[in-house]
Structure 1
Amino acid sequence: MSIRVYVGLGSNLDAPAEQLRSALDALDQVQATRLVAASALYTSDSLLPGQPRYTNAVAALDSALAPLDLLDALQAIENDQGRVRKERWGPRTLDLDILLYGDQVLDLPRLQVPHYHMHARPFVLYPLAELVPADFRLADGRQLSQLLAACPYIGLERL
């Protein structure tokens, strides 16, 4: 049985838009997983000063993989695209985050779903809003429209 999963994509190194396009192709190749849709690409300033601007998107997947198996597959794609994990918030060729995994709320050592910072990140919320109905609720009950209202579009540029 497949579950609808939403994955955040981000890159600020080595041709970020191309990194995201390659990642979308790779997501569609993950075992027992199908890419259903992808948002437009957006650019925004890094959360940390001195880093290049980020390019971000959100992908909708249907996957039969368990959450941690999907996380492993996403990290393999990151590694294949040159991700180096030197520092937690450093620049990166590719970052793939499971934002939502069906209607599940997960609090595991390696994975928190809904993603723990998505409510405060316009570069996640606005692309997600392209892929879901207007009345969409996260698994923890929060309504996306309310999160959007509390998280202005400031600094976000749709490509």
Structure 2
Amino acid sequence: MHRAFIALGANLEDPAAQVRAALADLTGDGDIALVAASSLYRTAPIGADGPDYINAVAAVDTPLPPAGLLSRLFAVEAHFGRTRSYRNAPRTLDLDLLLYDDQVLDGPELTLPHPRLHLRAFVLVPLAEIAPDLALPGRGSVAAWLPAVANQRIEKL
């Protein structure tokens, strides 16, 4: 089994319900077991217009390899009506593979750790809630990066 961390976010069509339902869908097939889920957080869009996002982070255990897990995330997004009309477009659901064990990958389809996870309060704050001592490969601890995102608006629901 492998430990992975997944960011969940939505800002269309009742985003809190979308995030909760996506988490249930993601962990409902037997290949992905929920270990922990953060609270929900409201955040402003970064680099885009549109309504606020509802975000969370989940820790999961899975036998799936990174590419297989990413494919599953894309399938869940599609099931929830995700379209990719333009960069940073509002969305019904966004699932990002943040970390997979302590693997470091830099490929055309997948980069691990997620290249911007240490720059986003909507990832770091919920991640710190469920895994405050977690080490980000090549970057240090989650907690050490929290001051870098202190100026980003985030509200625990």
Counterpart in 2 of 1:5? 4
Counterpart in 1 of 2:52? 53
- For the pair 1:80 / 2:95, whether they are aligned, the reply is no
Using the alignment, how far apart are the partners of 1:49 and 1:32 within structure 2? 34
| 2:48–2:88 Cα contact (<8 Å) kept | no
Using the alignment, how far apart are the partners of 1:141 and 1:49 within structure 2? 27
Alignment RMSD (CA, Å): 1.3
Counterpart in 1 of 2:26? 27
Report the 3-state secondary structure (helix = DSSP H, G, I; strand = E; otherwise coil) of the residue aligned with 1:130.
helix
1:4-153 aligned at under 5 Å gives the runs 4-132=3-131, 134-152=132-150
- When residues 51 and 58 of structure 1 are mapped into structure 2, their CA distance, relative to the original with a 3 A threshold, is same
| 1:135–1:145 Cα contact (<8 Å) kept | yes
Measure how far apart 1:19 and its partner are. 0.4
Which residue identity does 2:102 align to in structure 1? D
- When residues 115 and 30 of structure 1 are mapped into structure 2, their CA distance, relative to the original with a 3 A threshold, is farther
Using the alignment, how far apart are the partners of 2:57 and 2:133 within structure 1? 18
Measure how far apart 1:131 and its partner are. 1.1
Identity, % of aligned pairs? 46
| 2:10–2:53 Cα contact (<8 Å) kept | yes
Q: Report how many residues are paired.
A: 157
Deviations 1:49-75 (A, max 9, x none): 431101100011001001011000000
Which residue identity does 1:139 align to in structure 2? P
Measure how far apart 1:143 and its partner are. 1.6
| 1:11–1:56 Cα contact (<8 Å) kept | yes
TM-score with structure 2 setting the length: 0.95
Which residue identity does 1:21 align to in structure 2? R
Measure how far apart 1:156 and its partner are. 0.4
Report the 3-state secondary structure (helix = DSSP H, G, I; strand = E; otherwise coil) of the residue aligned with 2:21.
helix
| Unpaired runs of at least 5, structure 1 | none
Q: List, as ranges, runs of 4+ consecutive aligned residues in structure 1 with deviation greater than 3 Å.
A: none
| 1:8–1:56 Cα contact (<8 Å) kept | yes
Measure how far apart 1:106 and its partner are. 1.0
Which residue identity does 2:133 align to in structure 1? D
